[in-house]
Structure 1
Amino acid sequence: MNNNKSVADSMANNGILFVSNAAKAHRYCSKVSKFVKHVLYIKFNGGPESSLPVINKQIVNIYTKASTQCGNLDVRLMLKPIDSIERIKTNKPFQMIMFDRELSKDVVNNLLQSVPSETQVQTIDSDEKKFVNVLAQSESETVKTYEYVALGGTFDRLHNGHKILLSQAALRATKHVTVGVTDVNMIQSKSLWELIEPVEKRIKAVLDFLTDINPDLEYNVCPIQDVYGPTKEDPRFQLIVVSEETKRGALKINEKRKENGLLPLDVYTIGIAEDLEQQSTEEETKVSSSNLRMRLLGTLLTEPKSTSPDDAPVSERNVRRGYIAEDLFGVGLKGAAVVNCDIIAHELYEPGLPLNHTIAEVFGKDVITAQGEVDRRKLGSVVFSDKEQLEKLNKLVWPAVIEEAQRRIKALGGQGYKVVVMEAAVMVRAKWYTHCHQLWVVIIPPAEAIKRLQERNNLTEEEAKQRVSAQPSNAEQVAQANVVFSPYWSYEYTQVQIDKAWDQLEKYLECRK
């Protein structure tokens, strides 16, 4: 062959697998995962066992089984037969070439002629002793093709269900595929929509995948503001590819096309892919972006702010080791000290203290009880219904609270605590997270937040709405967060998130020693 590196030297980031026919592609996934870490391209030889019906079946086989057979590999079945390796262009450069032993010697020799010397080469044997001819199973299926094909979706964190949908559209297109990617106004009904990637990133991921699996087609991947996108008025479209759960959208599109005097689209519906990696009963049983977003809870979304020993005097270094959480009850049981800023504010309101006197002067004696204490309920009714009044209160209270919080954190550091959790509802708005390494944010849907606030603080619905609207939105908080939690589901599922974050934090602290 050529002077290639041994596979034992290292795993390749990305690799391409050549198989003798499309019908066998899924048989090799578990083997290949031993050699490739990130992206696996699969390319097949031509012939009757690489016909459109066979590829159609293998799209489902490969992506349905990829999660369990290939671990975390990003698998991409390329839809055109082997031509020449020099003509293969991929968005991710591959460092390893693999091929099954049944590929003809002529094909293998042709592939290896122009392989760079640094590229690793590996032969792969199937895990199955007997090859099942799927051509016979697929002969009754037909794959009708069209010049112009359309589909749509959120396409958040491109997963194997998305890949089936996109691949089936590309398989049926002979000229052009348009993909509508839902924009901001269409995603807010989704679970944990605040964690959905920006539309520009989702568009790029879809386009990268499509150009990888079939670079010969024209692609238009565009944001859409409604269920119709360009299909409602473009007469060139002939087919729309949908999933079981979105096929009602295709009916609406055809109704709109009829109103506009256009022919209806043919509809191809793919089945729902079962999630073989379902991690909890709270997750959906199908492969979905919602499951992937749920699995992000408790994980590090953005790296912690780095600090060096020169950033602060030694006596203050433990102050900088604050970790923020909002409403994360029970963290203290893991060995962290907790500084609750709401409690600090309450203590600063006590009779005889400067803040108590100032609040009485600014907001009137009506917000002071007969015992001289600040009536938090009355004060809340004043400030949460008037933004100017709320800003006045914040300018009085916030500096005093953060000063006292920092004093307490420093004292706790002196007592030997490695982690201090500073808890505050106004953490983002007050920008107190800038005093700490990480921001941990808790989010739940606004309607649920209002309901829980009513129950916890004995508020009316309107009072609770005012308090929720006075806080930064979930999206604003997530934009600043290092770690996000959601206690929307069961207590046990919330604890799983906290345990995950805590384990991560301990590893981080260990690395800083």
Structure 2
Amino acid sequence: MCVSSAVQLFVLLLSIVTSYIFIMNSESEIPMAKNGMLFVSTAAKAHSVCQKASKYVQNMLYIKIKGNNHNTLPVLSREIVELYTKATSQCSNLDVRLMIKLTEKGNTIKTKYPIDILIYDSDLSKDIDDLKTSITTLGPEYRLQSIDLKDSIYQSDCDDLVKTYEYVALGGTFDRLHNGHKILLSQAVLRSTKHVLVGVTDVNMIQSKKLWELIEPVEKRMEAVLNFLTDINPDLEYNVFPLQDLYGPTKDDPKIQMIVVSEETHRGAVKINEKRAENGLKPLDTHVISLAQDAQPLKHDEEEKKVSSSNQRMRLLGTLLRPPVPNLNIPDWPYVIGLAGGIASGKSNIAEKLKKKGAGLVNCDIIAHELYRPGLALNSTLTEAFGEHILTDNGEIDRRILGQIVFSDKGQLEKLNSLVWPAVINEAERQVRELGVQGHRVVVIEAAVMVRARWYTRCHQLWAVIIPPGEAIKRLAKRNNLTEEEARQRIEAQPSNVEQVALANIVFSPYWSYEYTQAQIDRAWDHLQDYLNTRK
């Protein structure tokens, strides 16, 4: 080969490579749409679309099957399970919603969220103009994107009859609506021709749940359920209500014909039918769905293998639940974390782990103990207020005797607090300033009364430590050699877990293994460092 030919070949190859790089860069710079609508030509393709569509959409993905009708109900029933199960592993960042409204001529599609991109199965290319005009919420600057789903159909036995009913019922906690919930709700919608009744468990029914204190308010859960239902089929009537007991209206409403349950709540349907028999009513037909498996790697043996709200709540531990609000009443530095938690919650253990991370530590319990010493003003004040019998032989305050007095009498407890709290917080703030001078960028104030005394108003953030009250009582009785009743009085005299979680920026629960607790601390500390690096 001559030199000129070699040069020409080199230039040609360079041009091809440059063009390829330009095209790849151009594609990577295409902005992701917030919300998308995906049209699929047949129901049997629905399960396979998530991964392909997630390249273009970052928030909400609606999926609409063109021409679905009563003949496709068995396939659609299967696809509901397949789609949402795959969505958990293939596009967990997306809120996926399979629209179940049966298509009739002239139907329009209205969604809760505006559509920024219209994606369509390449088999529907000739129908795209009609599909566009059917969407009433198509944004003015929407994009079009075709994807190839030719290899997506798989054969499966789906000849089972899907029986429909006018009135269908179901119930659940529906905390942070996930794909398992969507399967349950969608199967109910698929089987209803008129009305769907949804009971959302209220406070008195959730306290057996893991980390129930982190469950969203019932009003918020009800709103999320209704939002989803009206999105996937706006033509049905929906009654979403707070469920106060196992039965709700299902025990005595003759209009209800069918109930949708999961494998783990099937026994509830049996009990409902027993109650209906007592009331002289026909039993409800029951549709049982299998539990969707959680495709995310389990972080601990305590997590469930199914898609569950319990897993979601456990994964919230050590993460930011609510952003910090700037506190203009205290200096910017050192950055002060108020660490709240009841007696025997494991709060001190969490504090020590944060100290190992580099935080300065102020322990208010130790401060109070030091202020109880003979010869100090607080010692004399408490002796005058409660009597000399609260003193030990060497003149120190006997905390056990004092505890017996105040934890059985609310008035006495309030008197003690009014005497002790001002002295403790003044010394705590002095120690904070001293640790700041020593070079600590973060200082943690640990206090069991952090919430009740409102000391969190003197901090930049509030972090809370919770464990189940029964476990706290057990630990306290063992640690302090108390009776169960004495331990219960002390636990119940404090703010509840719910009160502390309601105010906290971050929540920990050292209820499980050392490694699981440490992972929570690591998440919280890493986030804090990222946040502090943005402060001046």
Do the aligned partners of residues 119 and 104 (structure 1) sit closer, same or farther apart at CA in structure 2, a change above 3 Å counting? closer
Contact 1:43 1:81 in 2 (8 A): no
The aligned counterpart of 2:147 is: 124
Task: Report the number of matched residues.
Answer: 499
The aligned counterpart of 1:178 is: 197
Displacement of 1:333 after TM fit? 0.3
Matching residue's letter, 2:307? V
State how far apart, in whole Å, the 2-side matches of 1:86 and 1:437 are.
54
- Normalized against structure 2, the TM-score is what? 0.89
Matching residue's letter, 1:121? L
Displacement of 1:375 after TM fit? 1.0
Displacement of 1:410 after TM fit? 1.0
Contact 2:364 2:428 in 1 (8 A): yes
State which of 5, 30, 33 in structure 2 corresponds to 1:12.
33
Greater Cα offset, 74-83 or 172-181: 74-83
Displacement of 1:117 after TM fit? 4.2
Q: What SS does the aligned partner of 1:222 have?
A: strand
- Normalized against structure 1, the TM-score is what? 0.93
Matching residue's letter, 2:333? N
Displacement of 1:97 after TM fit? 0.9
Matching residue's letter, 2:484? E
The aligned counterpart of 2:209 is: 190
- In the TM superposition, 1:69-108 aligns within 5 A as 69-80=90-101, 87-105=108-126, 107-108=127-128
The aligned counterpart of 1:219 is: 238
State how far apart, in whole Å, the 2-side matches of 1:48 and 1:346 are.
74
State how far apart, in whole Å, the 2-side matches of 1:48 and 1:221 are.
26
Do the aligned partners of residues 339 and 436 (structure 1) sit closer, same or farther apart at CA in structure 2, a change above 3 Å counting? same
State which of 313, 319, 325 in structure 2 corresponds to 1:305.
325
- In the TM superposition, 1:419-430 aligns within 5 A as 419-430=442-453
Q: What SS does the aligned partner of 2:59 have?
A: strand
- In the TM superposition, 1:349-428 aligns within 5 A as 349-428=372-451
The aligned counterpart of 2:44 is: 23
The Cα offsets for residues 187-232 of structure 1, whole Å up to 9 and x where unpaired, read as: 1111111111111111111111111111111111111111111111
State which of 336, 341, 345 in structure 1 corresponds to 2:364.
341
The Cα offsets for residues 138-162 of structure 1, whole Å up to 9 and x where unpaired, read as: 12x1101111100011111111111
Displacement of 1:419 after TM fit? 0.4
State how far apart, in whole Å, the 2-side matches of 1:381 and 1:157 are.
42
The Cα offsets for residues 404-436 of structure 1, whole Å up to 9 and x where unpaired, read as: 101110111122111001001111111101100
Contact 2:338 2:450 in 1 (8 A): no
Do the aligned partners of residues 116 and 153 (structure 1) sit closer, same or farther apart at CA in structure 2, a change above 3 Å counting? closer
Matching residue's letter, 1:495? Q
- In the TM superposition, 1:428-447 aligns within 5 A as 428-447=451-470
Provide the identity percentage.
64
Structure 2 unaligned residues grouped into runs of 5+: 1-25, 342-346
**RMSD after superposition:** 2.0
Displacement of 1:396 after TM fit? 0.5
The Cα offsets for residues 353-399 of structure 1, whole Å up to 9 and x where unpaired, read as: 00001111111111111211111111111111111111111000000
The aligned counterpart of 1:41 is: 62
Do the aligned partners of residues 12 and 210 (structure 1) sit closer, same or farther apart at CA in structure 2, a change above 3 Å counting? same
Contact 1:274 1:285 in 2 (8 A): yes
Compare CA radii of gyration and give the structure with the larger one. Answer: 2
State how far apart, in whole Å, the 1-side matches of 2:86 and 2:70 are.
20
Contact 1:443 1:487 in 2 (8 A): yes
Q: What SS does the aligned partner of 2:49 have?
A: helix
The Cα offsets for residues 104-141 of structure 1, whole Å up to 9 and x where unpaired, read as: 51x21212357554012111234xx734443x5212x1
Structure 1 unaligned residues grouped into runs of 5+: none
State which of 274, 283, 300 in structure 2 corresponds to 1:255.
274
The aligned counterpart of 1:448 is: 471
Displacement of 1:504 after TM fit? 0.9
Q: Report whether the alignment pairs 1:287 with 2:302.
A: no
Matching residue's letter, 2:30? D
Displacement of 1:83 after TM fit? 5.9
- In the TM superposition, 1:458-473 aligns within 5 A as 458-473=481-496
Q: What SS does the aligned partner of 2:195 have?
A: strand
Matching residue's letter, 1:394? N
Contact 1:85 1:111 in 2 (8 A): no
Contact 1:21 1:50 in 2 (8 A): no
Q: What SS does the aligned partner of 1:374 have?
A: coil
Q: Report whether the alignment pairs 1:499 with 2:522.
A: yes
Q: Report whether the alignment pairs 1:243 with 2:229.
A: no
Do the aligned partners of residues 15 and 160 (structure 1) sit closer, same or farther apart at CA in structure 2, a change above 3 Å counting? same
Q: What SS does the aligned partner of 1:398 have?
A: helix
State which of 203, 214, 218 in structure 2 corresponds to 1:199.
218
Matching residue's letter, 1:403? N
State how far apart, in whole Å, the 1-side matches of 2:460 and 2:117 are.
40
Matching residue's letter, 2:178? H
